[in-house]
Structure 1
């Protein structure tokens, strides 16, 4: 019955890759800001305690970088990186994993990101 062992082994390897991936840093764009997000009633959210709205077609990824429906996160307070469209709607959201949360220096406002320096290779910000 070696045939059955191979799919099980493949499944175990895939699961370990997801766990390992969840503990590493993902590449974020330079315009991503850090904040606290709570979905109140989709598409309405609280971003840093203030009312905001998810854009049509917005993408929310969990800490393992898997897409999740925003309505499934209702009521949870999440530390995130996010991007905002030109019209003020939230476009992309990444729920942060422990390794990403450990990177404490990350801009929270557009003014901070405009004056700080971003290194995309190391995914770190430095203040002037």
Structure 2
């Protein structure tokens, strides 16, 4: 086995390192800039023609995530179904653990057999302004005025 005993004519390894280090730093900065800009341009902005079709069975309410398996819906504690889906205003999935302790105006669907929370959609301001069954408004047939006003 022959080994070269003479030094090569190129720069010493200690002199090559700074050149490659600067190139690596520039490449990392360019990659970080792309990561910051790309998600912002790829998001769907609410109110720009986004119309989400909610199921007919969806009700309106106020949702707050308590734990990974429990939430507060309209002031009452409710269990979440194992496959519960929470959708953002851009209609993307939201992981429940990322919004613990926050309160949202939502449309929601309960499972028929168990009564657990099955799906919820966080509403935009324009969606929340539209009336929907199950909203926080109290509807009653009790009146305190005279019956003549009802005719």
- Cα distance, 1:33 vs. partner? 0.3
The aligned residue for residue 94 of structure 1 is: 121
Shift of 1:25: 2.9
Quick one: higher RCO (CA 8 Å, sep 6+), 1 or 2?
1
Indicate yes or no: 2:58 matched with 1:40: no
Deviation at residue 42 of structure 1 after TM alignment: 1.4
Structure number with bigger Rg: 2
Aligned residue number for residue 63 of structure 1:
89
The equivalent of 1:118 in structure 2 is none
Residue 72 of structure 1 corresponds to 98
The residue number in structure 1 matching 2:134 is 108
Give CA-to-partner distance per residue, 1:28-55, whole Å, 9 cap, x none: 0000000000001111000000010110
Shift in Å, 1:12 = 8.6
Alpha-carbon contact 1:43-1:53 (below 8 Å) kept = yes
Q: CA deviation at 1:101?
A: 1.2
Provide closer, same or farther for how the CA distance between residues 91 and 14 of structure 1 changes in structure 2, counting only shifts above 3 A. same
Matches within 5 A, 1:45-56: 45-56=71-82
- TM-score, structure 2 as length reference: 0.58
Of Structure 1 and Structure 2, the greater strand share is in: 1
Aligned length: 99
**CA deviation string 1:36-84 (max 9, x = no partner):** 0000111100000001011001111011111010111111110000000
Match of 2:55 in 1: 29
Structure 2 residues without counterparts, runs of 5 or longer? 1-33, 136-151
- Structure 1: 5+ residue runs without aligned partners? 1-6, 110-128
* 3-state SS of 1:101 partner: helix
CA RMSD of aligned residues (A): 2.5
Counterpart-to-counterpart distance in 2, 1:76 and 1:26: 22
